[in-house]
Structure 1
Amino acid sequence: MEKKEIEKTLKDYHWMLNSIKVMRESLNDTSQNVISQYGIEASLPKGTGKNADPVFGDVIRRQKYWKRIQKYERKIKTIQDRIHLIKDDREMEVLNWILEGKSYAWIARHMGFSERHIRRIRDAIIDKMIEKPDKPSATEKSVS
């Protein structure tokens, strides 16, 4: 991931996590809000070129949820896989508040720093997350 992508994902982390939760709950919702037609409306012809089944339409709409969920999960997983790279206590504190969705101004007030200093700490966090995590080679694993 590039610097801008990590920066945006950090900023969006909180709402993406909440959206995944809501979309999953919606997908697991078994209640149907479909209104059947009775009387003369039921016998009228349906529009052409479209499936008139409201349940089918809802299934199509919900399939799009899966794609968004997977996209958000990939981004969130990228951040989670790199959290271990942050060793400094200040950086970890700032990172946790960013992931909780707090503003830089809120974090600055909370920690007693200037907002500019919080942004510098955020930049340091991003720089560390850009670095590729060191993975032990197969020979190192067998030696250990």
Structure 2
Amino acid sequence: MPVAEKKINKYQIYNILKNYHWMNKEVKRIEEELYQLNNTNITETAEGKMRIRDTKRTRLLEYLEMINFIDKRAPVIVGIKESAILDCLLDGMSVTAVARHFGMSRAQAHRIRDDIVDKLAEG
């Protein structure tokens, strides 16, 4: 039986877009740490290592869920300008930086970002 996708609202989508870039970096870092933790000798601090590993794994799964939500829904953004702006947001650019980059007003960049969020929310 397929697992139901967790409902993510528009406010959460705004935050995921804002944090997507660093979450990807953090996923890589946590994966490396988990690999190292899994390949070290178990000592008297095994319980502590297991607790650290479980905490990191939980955080990793949360980040992956948010990243996968965007990755799965990104194909609904088909407009050339919207796609370029989404790429910039996912690369960690702020809306102000996007506006400057594309030579548009911040208000216009915000409207396009809002349209992107609406489309991602509809899925």
Normalised by the length of structure 2, the TM-score is 0.84
1:94 to 85, 92, 102: 85
How far did 1:63 drift? 1.3
| Deviation string, structure 1 residues 86-122 (Cα, Å, up to 9, x no partner) | 1111111110010001112211111111122111110
Counterparts in 2 of 1:40-59, with a 5 A limit? 53-59=44-50
Task: Please tell me the root mean square deviation across aligned C-alpha atoms, in Å.
Answer: 1.6
How far did 1:22 drift? 0.3
Partner of residue 75, structure 2: 84
Counterparts in 2 of 1:96-115, with a 5 A limit? 96-115=87-106
How far did 1:75 drift? 0.9
Partner of residue 130, structure 1: 121
How far did 1:54 drift? 2.4
Partner of residue 5, structure 1: 12
Does the 8 Å CA contact 2:34/2:53 hold for their aligned counterparts?
A: yes
Partner of residue 22, structure 2: 15
More helix by share: 2
Larger radius of gyration: 1
Match of 1:11, SS?
A: helix
Q: Which runs of 4+ in 1 moved over 3 A?
A: none
How far did 1:31 drift? 5.2
Q: How many equivalent residue pairs?
A: 113
Q: Is 1:67–2:58 an aligned residue pair?
A: yes
Letter in 2 for 1:120: R
C-alpha separation between the residues in 2 aligned to 1:90 and 1:123?
A: 13
Q: Percent identity over the alignment? A: 33
Letter in 1 for 2:15: K
Give the unaligned 5+ runs of structure 1: 35-52, 133-144
2:31 to 14, 24, 34: 24
C-alpha separation between the residues in 1 aligned to 2:12 and 2:94?
A: 18
Letter in 2 for 1:90: K
C-alpha separation between the residues in 2 aligned to 1:5 and 1:108?
A: 22
